[in-house]
């Protein structure tokens, strides 16, 4: 194409992206799910409907029409050709290797991890990607601590006979400060409702209460009764237990106890007791880091919590209800104090992230990156089931890794057209608590303010083509909108998380990217399978549930990667649009991660 033509397109693109930003503030316009208003995570209707005058709408349409008629910055044909290099056969090749028994389930810190790292580095090197860690390495190695607690004691002094709680049946607790011994004696208990401080909702459960040296008792989840508040039924990060513990630490509490109820957790007590009584992993704390004021975290059953509240003359059900009131004030559990004693041991292991880049060409933009993430670790070897002990992790997540490798190869083929750069961050230690991405976010190889967006792939559609796509994070940032745009060209609708109350947005590696402000999305397989018999979706759902985190997650004869191939091509094109966009991608106004993004951009 000639230069003048390119200049015109560039100007149009700039103009379009300016208006596009307003356009994105109203996600109602970009998809068709009738339940959208009910489950949209951003509930500020005035923000969402404030976009543009009729004039602006018309100019947007005009500009889009012109852009469509002369193509975008990258030639459509060139982009399509590059996308077509993503093939289901090559995806299957990567998956077959990584999920083979030889890789022993790719457990964090094991020989299987080393084999995976060697494979990924060899593939990235062969396609001509650059080392992403310093000048010469593809590998970011980091220390983890495995923590096992052998002794758990928790008791409450009520001025009478005292209340003893039984580990596992009544409570679980673990050190939050990476210490071997935790000994808290007769600390005061303060109920802090949801334990949330959210200035954007004018919400503060602590209300200036000094909780230093005290144990805070917290209700799980976030308020659900108002769609303008904390996403209504959707669980925001404020509603996740990790937020509660982090906030308690920030407030200087000596301990943090979450009251378990099945509705506020979304799962029963057995899930809590099983998952927290196993070995837990952490990124090893820097020895120079300031001492964590919070010595332990815990959960208590609803039944025993109710008993404690009663001993303080309070009714638990009333107190749980009172938390929904914005005027809620912390309540001291008068006359009670709690003692906790824990003894733990640790082992140190090392894990490795693999980072590769393909540099862009625009002198002003090439230090900015689109980051693709996928975790390559899985559960390793566990107790045998029918003689099989290897958790092959084919769908979770050799499949996502294969998609990122394929996308990188396609980027390499159109590298001369790339304005920004692209990075593949293939992380380890996801299955033990999203720790590889946490480490990367804490020790980034690219400053978060220079990352325009993140697309995270964790599990791909291995069951055949679908009409639709699902994006966890739809409507929350402009990266999701770019996927909607590309899917739209293929006539495919995009839907949001069908179960936002489960907080899936906070459960894979993109969350650690969002936490440092990067506009991140987590595409998931669609649900409308094409050309399949009735009941296929139900069958797939039960099959996936049975295979999930089990030795049966392996390449099976019923696999069909043609859906994954189509989906990955769309992600690739959307990523390319972000790489060549005039502006960096951004969070929707009022999103819970907008403030940290704006701060990171202004600090830079
Ligand atoms: Zn996974």
pLDDT tens digits for range 403-459: 999 999 999 999 999 999 999 999 999 999 999 999 999 999 999 999 999 999 999
* Domains: count for the chain: 2
Cα angle 375, 376, 378; round to 5: 100
- As a whole number of angstroms, the distance between CA 394 and CA 459 comes to 9
Model pLDDT, residue 334? 97
Model pLDDT, residue 326? 96
- As a whole number of angstroms, the distance between CA 123 and CA 94 comes to 9
Range of the domain at 212: 145-347
* CATH code, domain with 523: 3.40.630.10
When pLDDT is averaged across residues 107-117 and rounded to a whole number, the result is 97
Distance 395 CA to ligand 1 centre (A): 8
| Nearest CA among 587, 593, 571 for reference residue 477 | 587
Query: Does 57 map to a domain?
Result: no
Report CA torsion sign: 174, 177, 181, 182. negative
Task: Looking at the structure, tell me whether residues 432 and 463 fall in a common domain.
Answer: yes
Distance 248 CA to ligand 1 centre (A): 28
Query: Could you count the other beta carbons within 10 Å of the beta carbon of residue 550?
Result: 15
The pLDDT of residue 61 is above 90: no
Query: Does 42 map to a domain?
Result: no
Task: Looking at the structure, tell me whether residues 393 and 525 fall in a common domain.
Answer: yes
Model pLDDT, residue 385? 84
Distance 399 CA to ligand 1 centre (A): 10
The pLDDT of residue 370 is above 70: yes
Query: Does 22 map to a domain?
Result: no
Distance 532 CA to ligand 1 centre (A): 26
pLDDT band at 325 (very low <50, low <70, confident <90, very high): very high
Distance 177 CA to ligand 1 centre (A): 27
Distance 397 CA to ligand 1 centre (A): 5
DSSP, res 208: T
Distance 257 CA to ligand 1 centre (A): 28
Distance 223 CA to ligand 1 centre (A): 28
Distance 489 CA to ligand 1 centre (A): 29
Note the pLDDT tens digit of each residue in 149-186. Answer: 999 999 999 999 999 999 999 999 999 999 999 999 99
Distance 459 CA to ligand 1 centre (A): 6
Query: Does 241 map to a domain?
Result: yes
Task: Looking at the structure, tell me whether residues 486 and 356 fall in a common domain.
Answer: yes
Q: 276: phi > 0 → left, psi -120 to 50 → alpha, else beta; which?
A: alpha
CB 394 within 8 A of CB 554: yes
| Nearest CA among 47, 198, 58 for reference residue 587 | 47
Q: In the chain, helix, strand, coil percent, each to 5?
A: 40, 25, 35
The pLDDT of residue 54 is above 80: no
pLDDT band at 64 (very low <50, low <70, confident <90, very high): low
Last residue of a domain, one of 347, 362, 388: 347
Task: Looking at the structure, tell me whether residues 137 and 182 fall in a common domain.
Answer: no
pLDDT band at 60 (very low <50, low <70, confident <90, very high): low
pLDDT band at 555 (very low <50, low <70, confident <90, very high): very high
Task: Looking at the structure, tell me whether residues 377 and 299 fall in a common domain.
Answer: no
Model pLDDT, residue 503? 87
When pLDDT is averaged across residues 125-153 and rounded to a whole number, the result is 97
Task: Looking at the structure, tell me whether residues 565 and 474 fall in a common domain.
Answer: yes
Model pLDDT, residue 372? 98
Distance 130 CA to ligand 1 centre (A): 26
Distance 132 CA to ligand 1 centre (A): 23
Backbone angles phi and psi of 70, in degrees to 5? -115, 10
* CATH code, domain with 219: 3.50.30.30
| Nearest CA among 431, 395, 430, 433 for reference residue 545 | 395
Distance 458 CA to ligand 1 centre (A): 5
- As a whole number of angstroms, the distance between CA 466 and CA 487 comes to 12
Report CA torsion sign: 319, 320, 322, 327. positive
CB 371 within 8 A of CB 408: no
Note the pLDDT tens digit of each residue in 456-489. Answer: 999 999 999 999 999 999 999 999 999 999 999 9
Distance 431 CA to ligand 1 centre (A): 7
Distance 332 CA to ligand 1 centre (A): 41
Task: Looking at the structure, tell me whether residues 124 and 168 fall in a common domain.
Answer: no
Distance 215 CA to ligand 1 centre (A): 34
Distance 16 CA to ligand 1 centre (A): 36
Residues near ligand 1 ion, CB 5 Å cutoff? 396-397, 458
Distance 510 CA to ligand 1 centre (A): 11
pLDDT band at 569 (very low <50, low <70, confident <90, very high): very high
Query: Does 18 map to a domain?
Result: no
Query: Could you count the other beta carbons within 10 Å of the beta carbon of residue 388?
Result: 15
Note the pLDDT tens digit of each residue in 493-537. Answer: 999 998 888 889 999 999 999 999 999 999 999 999 999 999 999
Model pLDDT, residue 462? 97
Model pLDDT, residue 505? 94
Query: Does 519 map to a domain?
Result: yes
CB 273 within 8 A of CB 172: yes
Model pLDDT, residue 273? 92
Write out the two tokens for 421: 């750069």
Write out the two tokens for 218: 């917290």
Note the pLDDT tens digit of each residue in 14-40. Answer: 433 333 333 333 333 333 333 332 333
Distance 323 CA to ligand 1 centre (A): 34
Model pLDDT, residue 271? 87
Distance 460 CA to ligand 1 centre (A): 10
Distance 462 CA to ligand 1 centre (A): 14
Distance 540 CA to ligand 1 centre (A): 17
Task: Looking at the structure, tell me whether residues 430 and 407 fall in a common domain.
Answer: yes
pLDDT band at 43 (very low <50, low <70, confident <90, very high): very low
Distance 214 CA to ligand 1 centre (A): 37
The pLDDT of residue 323 is above 50: yes
Distance 507 CA to ligand 1 centre (A): 9
pLDDT band at 597 (very low <50, low <70, confident <90, very high): very high
Task: Looking at the structure, tell me whether residues 524 and 426 fall in a common domain.
Answer: yes
Helices 3-24 and 54-70, interaxial angle, to 10°?
Answer: 140
- As a whole number of angstroms, the distance between CA 310 and CA 326 comes to 24
pLDDT band at 281 (very low <50, low <70, confident <90, very high): very high
Query: Does 420 map to a domain?
Result: yes
DSSP, res 280: E
Task: Looking at the structure, tell me whether residues 135 and 190 fall in a common domain.
Answer: no
Distance 219 CA to ligand 1 centre (A): 28
Model pLDDT, residue 106? 97
When pLDDT is averaged across residues 565-584 and rounded to a whole number, the result is 98
Distance 376 CA to ligand 1 centre (A): 8
The pLDDT of residue 66 is above 80: no
Which of these ranges, 41-50, 79-88, 232-241, has the smallest mean pLDDT?
Answer: 41-50
Cα angle 147, 152, 155; round to 5: 145
Model pLDDT, residue 62? 45
Model pLDDT, residue 73? 64
Distance 100 CA to ligand 1 centre (A): 17
Task: Looking at the structure, tell me whether residues 363 and 247 fall in a common domain.
Answer: no
Query: Does 185 map to a domain?
Result: yes
Distance 97 CA to ligand 1 centre (A): 17
| Strand 469-472, strand 520-524: pairing | antiparallel
Last residue of a domain, one of 289, 319, 347: 347
Please report, rounded to a whole number, the percentage of residues in the chain having pLDDT higher than 90: 80
Distance 122 CA to ligand 1 centre (A): 23
Distance 468 CA to ligand 1 centre (A): 21
Distance 99 CA to ligand 1 centre (A): 13
Task: Looking at the structure, tell me whether residues 236 and 299 fall in a common domain.
Answer: yes
Last residue of a domain, one of 330, 347, 364: 347
pLDDT band at 8 (very low <50, low <70, confident <90, very high): very low
Model pLDDT, residue 75? 85
């Amino acid at each position: 194409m000639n230069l003048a033509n390119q200049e015109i397109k560039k100007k149009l693109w700039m103009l379009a992206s300016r208006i596009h930003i307003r356009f994105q503030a109203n996600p109602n316009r970009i998809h068709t799910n009738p339940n959208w208003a009910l489950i949209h995570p951003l509930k500020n209707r005035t923000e969402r409907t404030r976009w543009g005058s009729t004039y602006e709408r018309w100019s947007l349409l005009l500009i889009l029409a012109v852009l469509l008629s002369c193509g975008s910055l990258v030639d459509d044909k060139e982009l399509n050709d590059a996308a077509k290099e993503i093939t289901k056969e090559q995806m299957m090749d990567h998956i077959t290797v990584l999920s083979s028994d030889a890789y022993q389930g790719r457990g964090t810190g094991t020989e299987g991890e080393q084999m995976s790292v060697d494979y990924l580095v060899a593939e990235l090197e062969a396609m001509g990607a650059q080392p992403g860690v310093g000048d010469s390495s593809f590998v970011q190695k980091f220390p983890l601590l495995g923590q096992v607690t052998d002794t758990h004691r928790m008791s409450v002094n009520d001025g009478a006979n005292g209340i003893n709680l039984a580990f596992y049946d009544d409570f679980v607790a673990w050190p939050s400060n990476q210490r071997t011994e935790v000994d808290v004696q007769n600390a005061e208990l303060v109920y802090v409702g949801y334990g949330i401080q959210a200035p954007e909702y004018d919400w503060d459960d602590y209300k200036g209460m000094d909780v230093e040296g005290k144990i805070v008792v917290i209700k799980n989840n976030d308020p659900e009764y108002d769609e303008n508040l904390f996403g209504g039924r959707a669980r925001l990060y404020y509603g996740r237990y990790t937020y509660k513990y982090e906030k308690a630490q920030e407030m200087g509490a000596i301990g943090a106890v979450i009251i378990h109820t099945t509705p506020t957790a979304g799962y029963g007590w057995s899930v809590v007791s099983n998952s927290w009584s196993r070995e837990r992993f952490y990124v090893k704390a820097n020895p120079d880091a300031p001492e964590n004021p919070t010595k332990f975290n815990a959960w208590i059953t609803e039944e025993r919590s109710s008993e404690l509240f009663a001993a303080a003359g309070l009714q638990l059900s009333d107190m749980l209800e009172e938390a929904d009131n914005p005027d809620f004030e912390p309540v001291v559990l008068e006359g009670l104090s709690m003692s906790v004693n824990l003894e733990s041991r640790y082992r140190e292991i090392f894990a490795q992230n693999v980072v590769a880049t393909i540099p862009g060409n625009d002198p002003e933009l090439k230090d900015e990156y689109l980051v693709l993430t996928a975790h390559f670790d899985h559960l390793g070897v566990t107790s045998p089931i029918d003689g099989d002990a290897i958790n092959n992790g084919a769908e979770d997540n050799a499949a996502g890794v294969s998609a990122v490798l394929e996308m990188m190869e396609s980027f390499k083929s159109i590298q001369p057209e790339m304005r920004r750069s692209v990075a593949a961050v293939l992380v380890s230690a996801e299955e033990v608590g999203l720790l590889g991405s946490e480490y990367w976010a804490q020790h980034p190889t690219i400053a978060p303010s220079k990352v325009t967006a993140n697309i995270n792939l964790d599990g791909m559609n291995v069951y055949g083509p679908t009409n639709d796509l699902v994006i966890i994070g739809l409507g929350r940032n402009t990266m999701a909108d770019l996927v909607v745009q590309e899917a739209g060209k293929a006539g495919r609708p995009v839907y949001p998380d069908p179960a936002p109350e489960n907080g899936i947005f906070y459960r894979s590696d993109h969350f650690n990217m969002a936490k440092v402000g990067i506009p991140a999305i987590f595409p998931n397989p669609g649900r409308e399978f094409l050309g399949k018999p009735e009941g296929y979706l139900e069958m797939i759902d039960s099959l996936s549930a049975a295979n999930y985190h089990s030795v049966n997650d392996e390449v099976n004869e019923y696999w069909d990667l043609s859906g994954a191939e189509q989906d990955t091509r769309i992600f690739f094109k959307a990523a390319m649009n972000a790489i060549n966009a005039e502006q960096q991608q951004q969070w929707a106004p009022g999103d819970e991660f907008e403030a940290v993004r704006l701060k990171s951009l202004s600090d830079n």
